[in-house]
Amino acid sequence: MSGRASVEELKQGVVSGDRAALSRAITLAESRRADDQERAQELIAGVLPRTGAARRVGLTGVPGAGKSTVIESLGLWLIEQGHKVAVLVVDPTSSRTGGSILGDKTRMQALSAHPDAYIRPSPSGGVLGGVARKTREAMLLCEAAGFDVVLVESVGVGQSEAELAELVDCLCLLLVPGAGDELQGIKRGIVERADLVVVNKADGDRIPLAKRARGDYRHALRMLPPSTPGWETPVQIASATEGTGLAEIWESIEKHRALLEETGLLEVRRLHQQQKWLSSMIEEAALKAFRARPGVEQAVAEAERDVAEEKLTVPQATQNVIDASGFSIEN
């Protein structure tokens, strides 16, 4: 495939598992050009029937907790079990060819070299919902290409963690032993959404510490509402470097999946995610259309000045912008 492949050619490439075609398809989906977007959406719509069966697992946790290393070990272990594993690394701080992505590639060396694995950094779209959207599209394309496990690593803190929860079926929170404090500064909202907690680096003389942390976290989690109705979030220990605890991690992921399927919550969860995606896209498109209206740009500049000079309150200045746009907001 050279030059501009047709959407049909790309689709054939993707569904036949051609990695070069998959990479090109994801690049197309990430493009901001309108004509690229049109082709990308046609492509994604075309492969949608082949998506949805994969295990969508997100990994989050403090920097250095071992997310990449767990993905590498778990990924290789899963491949041994006959799976095909795609890894998407979400890095909102690094939409450029970021350092941490290069670092992750080296950390996942064995996995990235494996023919049954596919690793791809997922850049930020630069807008709210951007991270999740690009990653979601990349995820769908990976599924269409035959990857039955998609592991998503979130890098950075805050917004990206919440977006990760909106993207996957199972959210795994990675912690390290002996960090002392209760839940290592992880936002309560994320802890509440974790479907699985893993205390990594349970090796060498850290094993007793890891076991103690496991007990503490189990206790702490009992105080929180469940991430999924009927699910008690397991807390496990593992060592990504030693390769211990991986089978147990996967077992929990599969149990969680079974619960989601049995109860119909998988569909509910995915539908909810899609509708949030839809509403964020509508909001974004509406904002873009609004800003493009004649007079709005100037009105915004004036509003900023009026607010800075304390001539108007922020609501008054906002109203001026709305008036200038020609839209009216009833109520």
Binding site for ligand GTP (CB under 6 A): 61, 63-69, 100, 107, 155, 200-201, 203, 239-241
Please, what is the minimum distance in Å from the beta carbon of residue 322 to ligand GTP? 42
Nearer to ligand GTP, 90 or 165 (CB): 90
Q: Which of ligand GTP, Mg ion, none does residue 203 bind to, with CB < 5 to 8 Å depending on kind?
A: ligand GTP
Taking residues 201 to 220 in sequence order and writing x for each that binds Mg ion by CB under 5 A, - otherwise, the string is: --------------------
For residue 76, the partner it binds in Mg ion, ligand GTP, none, with Cβ less than 5 to 8 A by kind, is none
User: Quick one: 68 or 252, whose CB is closer to ligand GTP?
Assistant: 68
Cβ neighbours around 124 below 10 Å, total = 20
Largest CA distance in the chain: 68
DSSP H or E run through 57: strand 55-61
Q: How far is the CB of 59 from Mg ion (least distance, A)?
A: 9
CA dihedral 181, 165, 19, 52 (to 10 degrees): 140
Smallest separation (angstroms) from ligand GTP to the CB of 111: 12
Within 93-112, which residues bind Mg ion (CB under 5 A)?
Answer: 104
The option from ligand GTP, Mg ion, none interacting with 138 (CB < 5 to 8 A, set by class) reads none
Assess 68 for contact with Mg ion (CB under 5 A): yes
List b or e across 210-247, with b for residues whose CB sees 16 or more CB atoms inside 10 angstroms: beebbebbeeebeeeeebbeebebbbbbbbbeeeebbe
Nearest Cα neighbor of 132 from 173, 92, 187, 75 is 92
Distances, alpha carbon 227 to alpha carbons 102, 185, 193, 219, 272, in Å:
33, 19, 5, 15, 15
Q: 296 is in the binding site of which of ligand GTP, Mg ion, none (Cβ under 5 to 8 A by kind)? A: none
Closer CB to ligand GTP, 87 or 142, in the complex = 87
Residues 98, 102, 104, 108: what is their CA dihedral angle, to the nearest 10 degrees?
160
Q: In whole angstroms, how close is the CB of 173 to ligand GTP at the nearest point?
A: 11
The binding site for Mg ion (CB under 5 A) comprises 67-68, 104
